[in-house]
């Protein structure tokens, strides 16, 4: 429902092919679908350039099935995140083509297509325990059409592991840094590269980590600049931001 279509509507009123009452109704009739418990936002893709994604945490399995059916009928593919194994097993029988990634806790209604958008995203982790979050970012980025490189387990306690990978970093348009514990990797990477860096704190750590708070504060206070932070463990959010940046680069070419 963009400016063009409103102009068109107003011209129809002007020409008499649409009554004022109908125009009023249409102005309100925006493209979302009411399932009673959920309002699907089909035109989000038009508005923000991103497909609808189902955030499953706290949702009932039957609600998720219903939403998948409705979205799946209109969209090429659908991504469901934060879906734990127990619920996935209740949902998968209804969608024979769906694929579930237990590490990422993500379900895709149909297999991933090949990347369709130029510009690489590099996903880095500080440790192997950060992998689930990195994998959520990977699935999301691929679902949104992007090429993704990965560089895992390059935490700053062994900084030469990172310094030897300069070339891989240079190839990327955007870098996603996933790190728990003290989250220092974001600062070190931010000091090395000119590209935008998206920092994802993870809840990996113990004691005074406070479920990711330590890494989150660390990343927000980075002494390097050019870093944007997303929520703790939010691999999906990091990939969405990376996608928004790369689509901007692509669009303007």
The structure tokens listed for 48 are 């923000």
Binding-residue pattern over the window 51 to 90 for a copy of itself, x denoting contact by CB under 8 A: --x-x-xxx---x------------------x--------
Match 């979302």 to its residue by tokens. Answer: 32
Piece of the chain touching a copy of itself by CB under 8 A; list 34-42, 70-78, 83-91, 109-117? 34-42
Examine residue 158 and tell whether it contacts a copy of itself (CB under 8 A): yes
Examine residue 204 and tell whether it contacts a copy of itself (CB under 8 A): yes
What is d(CA 215, CA 194) in angstroms, rounded to the nearest whole number? 22
Examine residue 47 and tell whether it contacts a copy of itself (CB under 8 A): yes
Strands of the chain, DSSP E: 32-34, 39-41, 53-55, 79-81, 99-101, 106-108, 117-125, 146-151, 174-179, 197-201, 227-229
Q: Which of 44, 70, 90, 110 binds a copy of itself (CB under 8 A)?
A: 44
Examine residue 6 and tell whether it contacts a copy of itself (CB under 8 A): yes
The answer to whether 74 touches 48, Cβ cutoff 8 Å, is no
- Residue 155 makes CB contacts below 8 A (sequence gap 6+) with 126, 127, 161, 179, 181, 184, 185
Q: What residues numbered 233-252 form the site for a copy of itself, per CB under 8 A?
A: 233-234, 236-237, 240-241, 243-245, 247-249, 252
Binding-residue pattern over the window 86 to 125 for a copy of itself, x denoting contact by CB under 8 A: ---------------------------------x------
H or E segment and range at residue 165: none
Examine residue 4 and tell whether it contacts a copy of itself (CB under 8 A): no
Shortest approach of a copy of itself to residue 11 CB, angstroms?
5
Shortest approach of a copy of itself to residue 4 CB, angstroms?
11
The structure tokens listed for 243 are 């996608």
Examine residue 218 and tell whether it contacts a copy of itself (CB under 8 A): yes
Q: What residues numbered 174-203 form the site for a copy of itself, per CB under 8 A?
A: 174, 180-184, 186-188, 190-198, 201, 203
Instruction: Classify 178 in phi/psi space as left (phi over 0), alpha (psi -120 to 50) or beta.
Output: beta
Q: Which of 78, 154, 177, 178 binds a copy of itself (CB under 8 A)?
A: 154
Q: At what angle do helices 235-251 and 131-143 cross, to 10 degrees?
A: 40
The structure tokens listed for 188 are 């070190």
């Amino acid at each position: 429902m963009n400016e063009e279509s409103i102009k068109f509507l107003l011209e129809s009123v002007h020409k008499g092919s649409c009554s004022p009452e109908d125009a009023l109704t249409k102005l309100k009739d925006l493209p979302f679908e009411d399932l009673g418990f959920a309002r699907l936002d089909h035109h989000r893709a038009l508005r923000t350039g991103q497909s609808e994604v189902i955030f499953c945490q706290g949702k009932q399995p039957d609600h998720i099935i219903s939403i998948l059916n409705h979205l799946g009928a209109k969209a090429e593919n659908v991504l469901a995140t934060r879906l734990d194994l127990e619920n996935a097993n209740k949902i998968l029988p209804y969608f024979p083509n769906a694929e579930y990634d237990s590490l990422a806790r993500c379900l895709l209604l149909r297999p991933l297509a090949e990347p369709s958008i130029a510009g690489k995203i590099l996903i880095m982790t500080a440790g192997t325990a950060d992998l689930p979050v990195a994998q959520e970012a990977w699935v999301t980025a691929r679902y949104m059409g992007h090429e993704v490189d990965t560089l895992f387990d390059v935490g700053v306690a062994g900084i030469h592991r990172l310094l030897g990978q300069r070339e891989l970093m240079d190839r990327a348009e955007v870098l996603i840094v996933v790190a728990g514990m003290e989250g220092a990797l974001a600062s070190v990477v931010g000091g090395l590269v000119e590209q935008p860096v998206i920092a994802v704190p993870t809840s990996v750590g113990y004691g005074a980590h406070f479920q990711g708070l330590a890494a989150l504060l660390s990343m927000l206070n980075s002494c390097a600049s050019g870093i944007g932070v997303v929520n703790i463990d939010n691999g999906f959010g990091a990939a969405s931001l990376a996608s928004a940046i790369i689509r901007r680069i692509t669009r303007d070419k």
